[in-house]
Amino acid sequence: MITSIAWKNVWRNKTRSLTVIAAVTVGVFASVFALAAINSSIVQRIDSAVNEELSHIQINTKEFRSSSDILSTIPESEKVTGILRNTPGVTGVTGRIIVRGLASTPAGSAGVEITGIDTAAEKEMFTLDRKLIPGTGSYFGAGTRLNSAFIGEKLARELYIVRYILRPESFTDLSEKGVPPAVAEKLRPLEGVRYSTEKKLTEAYSALLTAKEIKKYGLLIREAAWSYREGSRIILSFLDVNGNQTGAAFRISGIYRTNNDFFEAMSVFVPDEELRKLTGMEDGAYHRLIARLGEDDLTDRVTPVLKEALPGLEVMNWKEIQVDLAMIADYINQIYAVFMVLILAALSFGIVNTMLMAVLERTRELGMLSAVGMNRRRIFMMIMLESVFLSVVGGFAGMAVSGIVIGITGHTGINLVKYSEGLEAFGYSAHLYPTIGADFFIILTVLIVITGILSALYPARKALQLNPVEALRGE
Amino acid sequence: MKVVEINDVYKTYNDTEVEVRAVNGVTLSFEKGDFAVIVGPSGSGKTTLLNLIGGLDQPTAGEIIVAGHRLSELKPSELIDFRMDHVGFVFQSYNLIPVLTAAENVEFIMSLQKWPKEKRIARTEEMLRSVGLADRHRSRPSQLSGGQQQRVAVARALAPRPQFILADEPTANLDSKSAETLLDIMEKLNREEEMTFIFSTHDVRVMKRARRVITLEDGRVVSDERTNHTA
């Protein structure tokens, strides 16, 4: 009966209650959506780190990570591979040869980390092949030669392999993407001109267009002019096992684009057989073994098992390698909960105000309830339930709206390309796909109920202080 | 059988600079089945005396014993339970719960007392029939007239079978016809359920129906008369 009365009391003054509920709804929606957007970039960053760059667990000698010594290979790597494969939770194992070197073209050069990989195994364990920029080749396809390299877009730019040319087909592309003919006409003087960097192209079209046109169509122009000559080569040079300078020309098999500029600029992948041949490393020798787990959540469980099984080697999981990211991943829900507490605390003032008004205008009724035998606990419970209903209805409505909007934008994405340079320099995607875990909604539900309870305390105290005789007189 | 015993009770208010003795040495008792009115001019202490008998207020001196309970010995929380279990209240301005239907209002105190649902429903139907509102059980107070609301209030007060009913000016807000109907119903319930009614009133119509009239002046009982009226 108390619950029923409390629920009906909420709807006594519909306008007032709906105003508070709307405030809670908007507050919860805005905060949950903002958190989901932030979360998406973190989730995408973790996903990239695990699936494109690091995998779950890496094993190498204890000195390799700091020295990068070519001779610092894993002893008895076959035996170690066997241990890894037999460890519960491990679903894939592959070996890598890693050397530091220099990548160069006649136009430029850059320091890189050259990784020799088992291309078939890596394709099973990583998703980097899916990051291939269409039209730039393939990820070590069937017909790929041994001396092929898979490089990042950032490195391709540094080596001037990527150029910018507005060809006739570029104008067709611009027209299809909605660039007005008048704007395209202004760009005609640039047709066929080759620009070695994005910056030079930007300077060129900026001189022809208005500030508004640059802002609106700049990205589309840069994308249309992006050009890569298939079959380009780079020279990779590095030291062999004897400490002698060596190297070879590698044909670009494909160019990948990730959200991590640093990874794109540094990481060159080549078939391990080719690198083994050039460095003179023995068959079966690897600098690093990579273990892939069935689920991300197994990381913390499998790592200590492997550390115990491989005491002479350095066993590090992705969380230990990317400590900052791991810290965010581990405490993300707590961070969000603190944020939500602050938002709900602000919203609670509205609920307190509404409940206080509800109590003060029902003085006589509360006096009657006390007179006929409704004890303090029940009166407190009634007021508290009213407050909880207000916050829960608003909170659930906010969560429902958030769920729908997150569902839609999680599918379509939110484009932040305008700010992409800043974001991608830190390894974060410019396309956000808002997402948030179901467990966050559980925490949020608890917080909303607590908000309702806390918001009821002061109004309920006021109600309990009423003297039934005075209250019945309507004082 | 004595339902209420009031022994030399005083109630003094010190809220203002002047001390006010609202009840000044009252000694009374009420028997089971009484249909008594307390009359007197405004400020004579009628409502204060009713509040003391109902355990809404505590006397400054003297003692009130209801169904074996010395009210002055009860803690505030025990007083609330005492009111719920032993006293039925009918207020001048009805004081129904506006968000509940007539039936839910009647059921309310029984649900606080944790009556089984079937018994509660049966008793509610019985009481609404008794007050002639069986067909309005689903109506909210705002959909009922003043007289009908007061009849629901009487049904609510009687439903849990309290020791007695305290009715403070129950007809003050009613027209003649509604007041007569209400008094008919209360007389009938007094007779059929042997329920003790104690009224405070200015209303001559109520005084005419009473079998006992207690007159208060300046907080003192100046007369306590039995009448020949029979229900």
Do residues A115 and A37 share a domain? no
Q: Which domain holds residue B87?
A: 2-226
> Shortest CB distance from A371 goes to which of B83, B93, B108?
B83
Q: How far is A465 from chain B (nearest CA, A)?
A: 12
Q: Is the pLDDT of residue A250 over 90?
A: yes
Residue A460 lies in a domain: yes
CB contact under 8 A, B97 and A365: yes
The rounded percent of chain A whose pLDDT value lies above 70 is 96
Do residues A303 and A166 share a domain? no
Do residues A224 and A257 share a domain? no
Q: Considering only CB atoms, which chain A residues are within 8 Å of B56? A: 371, 468-469, 472
Identify the weakest region by mean pLDDT among A418-427, B28-37, B49-58, B145-154: A418-427
Q: Considering only CB atoms, which chain A residues are within 8 Å of B112? A: 1, 372-374, 378
Do residues A349 and A235 share a domain? no
More confident residue, A453 or A336: A453
Do residues A351 and A446 share a domain? yes
Instruction: Flag whether residue B61 sits within 8 Å of chain A, measured between CB atoms.
Output: no
Residue A421: the pLDDT is 55
CB contact under 8 A, A472 and B91: yes
Do residues A350 and A431 share a domain? yes
Residue A53 lies in a domain: no
Instruction: Flag whether residue B51 sits within 8 Å of chain A, measured between CB atoms.
Output: yes
Residue A420: the pLDDT is 56
Do residues A216 and A242 share a domain? no
For A373-400, letters b (16+ CB in 10 Å) and e give bbbeebbbbbbbbbbbbbbbbbbbbbbe
Residue B37: the pLDDT is 92
The rounded percent of chain A whose pLDDT value lies above 90 is 45
pLDDT tens-digit profile of A270-287? Answer: 999 999 999 999 998 999
End residue of a domain, out of A173, A208, A228: A228
pLDDT tens-digit profile of A15-54? Answer: 999 999 999 999 999 988 988 888 888 888 888 888 988 8
CATH of residue B42's domain is 3.40.50.300
Q: How many domains does chain B fold into?
A: 1
CB contact under 8 A, A1 and B104: yes
Q: Considering only CB atoms, which chain B residues are within 8 Å of A11? A: 99
Q: Considering only CB atoms, which chain A residues are within 8 Å of B98? A: 12, 365
Do residues A149 and A167 share a domain? no
Residue A467: the pLDDT is 83
Instruction: Flag whether residue B55 sits within 8 Å of chain A, measured between CB atoms.
Output: no
Determine the average pLDDT of the residues in A84-94. Answer: 93
Residue A267 lies in a domain: yes
More confident residue, A440 or A66: A66
Residue B82 lies in a domain: yes
Distances (CA, A) of A42 to A31, A48, A338, A436: 16, 10, 17, 10
Q: How many domains does chain A fold into?
A: 3
Residue B231 lies in a domain: no
End residue of a domain, out of A228, A253, A285: A228
Which residue is it, tokens 């040079």?
A237
Interface-testing mutation among B81, B95, B124, with chain A (most A C-beta atoms within 10 A): B95
> Shortest CB distance from A469 goes to which of B57, B80, B111?
B57
Q: Which domain holds residue A222?
A: 162-228
CB contact under 8 A, A468 and B98: no
Residue A54 lies in a domain: no
Residue A392: the pLDDT is 92
Residue B40 lies in a domain: yes
Determine the average pLDDT of the residues in A237-258. Answer: 92
Confidence grade of residue A241 (pLDDT, cut at 50, 70, 90): very high
Residue A58 lies in a domain: no
Do residues A151 and A296 share a domain? yes
Contact indicator for A119, A241 with CB cutoff of 8 Å: no
Confidence grade of residue A256 (pLDDT, cut at 50, 70, 90): very high
Interface-testing mutation among B42, B48, B51, B80, with chain A (most A C-beta atoms within 10 A): B80
Do residues A141 and A283 share a domain? yes
pLDDT tens-digit profile of A359-369? Answer: 888 888 898 89
Residue A393: the pLDDT is 93
End residue of a domain, out of A201, A228, A255: A228
Do residues A255 and A109 share a domain? yes
Confidence grade of residue A333 (pLDDT, cut at 50, 70, 90): confident
